[in-house]
Amino acid sequence: MTTTLTLDLQMNRFGFWSAVIAIVTGMISFFLPLDAPGGYTAEHADRVAWLTANRDLFILGWLNQIAAMFSLSGVFFAIAWHIAVKNPLRAALAAMVVLLSVVAFIIPKFMAIWTIPQLADVITNNAVGAELADPLLTLLNVSVPFSLYTSFDYLGFWLYGVFSLLVAGPLYGDKTSAKIAAITLGMFGVIYHGLLASLLLGSIAPPDIESSFLVAAGLLLVAVVVMSFNFWSAAKTE
For residue 126, the model assigns a pLDDT of 86
Contact indicator for 37, 48 with CB cutoff of 8 Å: no
Among 138, 130, 137, 113, smallest CA distance to 56 is for: 113
Q: How many residues does the chain have?
A: 238
Q: Show the domain range for 14.
A: 3-236
Each residue of 40-52: pLDDT tens digit?
A: 677 888 889 999 9
Does the global pTM surpass 0.85? yes
Each residue of 141-153: pLDDT tens digit?
A: 888 887 888 889 9
Contact indicator for 47, 133 with CB cutoff of 8 Å: no
Number of domain units in the chain:
1
